[in-house]
């Protein structure tokens, strides 16, 4: 009952995509387990160097012969303003001292290097013949799109509003992930403003479906068969699930992160720009709450991300959830600690129930 054009093109049994969660969550083990169980595993490559990406792709290939994909962050120009960075460091030093670390990062990102790494990631994808590639934080250039399409790579964009979904379609991409306001992790808006782009899936899926003809993939708060069935009823052809896979046994997420989600209530998430300079949803903690008052003083992505790196690392090393990014969608009470196989089978069984 779940086969449609996009599942056929992606060569998957079920219309389920594991969200590409960057930062060590989507290990080869997780990605391969998803692909081996009839859904689509995705490497979240946003923070991987080209060499790391190549290595991870090869690891996945060793663990599965099924289709899988890679997600890239599309870089944007960003400014490095010394005063801004000094101000941000002064704010962050309070947290650094609470964690008993004293390093301000010595190497800061450069726009030039970021763009270069992205171009090299694209080369890795071409060379390794990755069958599916998705993009967040923007859309790739026409040149990159044609390079990838020439090799038969299926391309998926990410949108938070109708106008962004139309931009993805107009570039000739094959499908669009529509990210509802429920979604955990970074917001994918790239044309619409942050405050305008927080649209719930009940509104977003049918409105986008009415305005594009490519396949719509729903993302945000979907955790079980109810979410899958509802998304299909609203007009989506598949779903992308992040938090549900994050708490799985095979995920590389820190144990403290998994526990935080498994113990959270529906109203425990919030949007914060304090970790990376881009807005993202996660379980609130000391860092996100105390940083709220500075949200207009935060350097752009990826500068702030580099500045908070030692804080996040130390917090994780100390098993202290208060300074880590605890990304989660708005449905944490639906999360379980189970294997990928158990999760996928459960979702499909639940979605087949006739209510």
The smaller minimum CB distance to its own copies, of residues 98 and 207, is found at: 207
The sign of the torsion formed by the CA atoms of 137, 142, 144, 150 equals: positive
Nearest to its own copies of 182, 322 (CB atom): 182
Give dist(CA 164, CA 31) in Å, integer. Answer: 27
Compute the distance between CA of residue 332 and CA of residue 222 in angstroms, rounded to an integer. Answer: 10
Name which of 277 and 332 has its Cβ closer to its own copies. 332
Rank residues 27 and 192 by Cβ distance to its own copies and give the closer one: 192
Distance CA 200, CA 198 (A): 7
Q: What angle do CA 204, 194, 88 make, to 5 degrees?
A: 150
> What is each CA distance from 227 to 81, 201, 310, 339, in whole angstroms?
43, 10, 37, 19
Q: Of 41, 98, 95, whose CA–CA distance to 64 is shortest?
A: 41
Sheet of 269-272, strands arranged across: 185-186, 280-283, 269-272
- Which of residues 226 and 313 has its CB atom nearest to its own copies in the complex? 226
Query: Binding residues for its own copies, per CB under 8 A?
Result: 161-163, 180-182, 192, 195-208, 210-211, 218, 220-224, 226-227, 229-235, 265-268, 270, 329-331, 333-334, 355
Q: Least distance to its own copies from the beta carbon of 154, Å?
A: 23
CB-count exposure of residue 24 (10 Å: 0-12, 13-18, 19+): middle
User: Distance (Å, rounded) from C-alpha 52 to C-alpha 57?
Assistant: 9
Instruction: Assign 190 to helix, strand or coil.
Output: coil
> Closer to its own copies at the Cβ: 113 or 233?
233
Question: Residue 279 CB, nearest distance to its own copies (Å)?
Answer: 14
CB of 27 to its own copies, least distance (A): 26
Name which of 48 and 223 has its Cβ closer to its own copies: 223
What is the closest distance, in whole angstroms, from the C-beta atom of residue 59 to its own copies in the complex?
A: 33
Nearest to 327 by CA among 186, 158, 136: 186
Minimum distance from residue 192 beta carbon to its own copies (Å)? 5
Spatial distance between the Cα atoms of 190 and 199, rounded to a whole number of angstroms? 14
Minimum distance of its own copies from residue 136's CB (angstroms): 18
Kindly state the helix (H) or strand (E) to which residue 41 belongs, with its residue range.
strand 41-44
In the complex with its own copies, the residue whose CB is nearer, 27 or 158, is: 158
Q: How far is the CB of 254 from its own copies (least distance, A)?
A: 23
Residue 50 CA to residue 122 CA, distance in Å, equals 9
Tell me the closest approach of the beta carbon of residue 38 to its own copies, in angstroms. 21
């Amino acid at each position: 009952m779940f086969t449609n054009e996009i599942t056929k093109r992606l060569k998957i049994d079920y219309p389920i995509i594991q969200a590409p969660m960057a930062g060590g969550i989507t290990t080869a083990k997780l990605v391969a387990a998803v692909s081996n169980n009839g859904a689509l595993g995705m490497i979240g490559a946003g923070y991987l160097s080209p060499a790391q990406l190549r290595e991870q792709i090869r690891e996945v290939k060793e663990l599965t012969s099924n289709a899988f994909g890679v997600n890239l962050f599309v870089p944007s120009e960003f400014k490095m303003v010394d005063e801004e960075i000094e101000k941000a460091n002064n704010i962050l030093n309070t947290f650094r001292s609470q964690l008993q670390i004293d390093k301000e990062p010595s190497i800061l990102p450069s726009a030039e290097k970021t763009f270069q790494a992205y171009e090299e990631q694209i080369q890795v994808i071409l060379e390794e013949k990755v069958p599916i590639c998705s993009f967040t934080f923007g859309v790739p250039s026409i040149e990159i799109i044609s390079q990838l399409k020439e090799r038969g790579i299926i391309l998926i964009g990410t949108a938070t509003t109708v106008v962004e979904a139309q931009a993805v379609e107009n570039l000739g991409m094959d499908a669009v992930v529509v990210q509802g306001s429920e979604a955990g992790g970074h917001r994918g808006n790239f044309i619409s403003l942050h405050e305008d782009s927080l649209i719930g899936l009940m509104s977003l899926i049918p409105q986008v479906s009415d305005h594009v003809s490519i396949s719509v993939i729903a993302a945000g708060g979907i955790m079980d068969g109810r979410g899958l069935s509802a998304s299909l009823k609203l007009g989506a052809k598949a779903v992308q699930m992040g938090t549900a896979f994050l708490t799985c046994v095979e995920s590389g997420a820190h144990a403290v992160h998994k526990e935080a989600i498994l113990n959270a209530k529906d109203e425990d998430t919030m949007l914060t720009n304090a970790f990376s300079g881009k807005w993202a949803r996660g379980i609130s903690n000391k860092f996100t709450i105390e940083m709220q008052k500075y949200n207009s003083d935060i350097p752009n992505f990826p500068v702030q991300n580099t500045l908070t790196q030692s804080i996040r690392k130390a917090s994780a090393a100390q098993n202290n959830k208060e300074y880590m990014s605890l990304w989660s969608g708005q449905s944490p009470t639906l999360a379980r600690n189970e294997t990928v196989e158990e999760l996928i089978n459960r979702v499909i069984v639940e979605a087949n129930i006739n209510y």
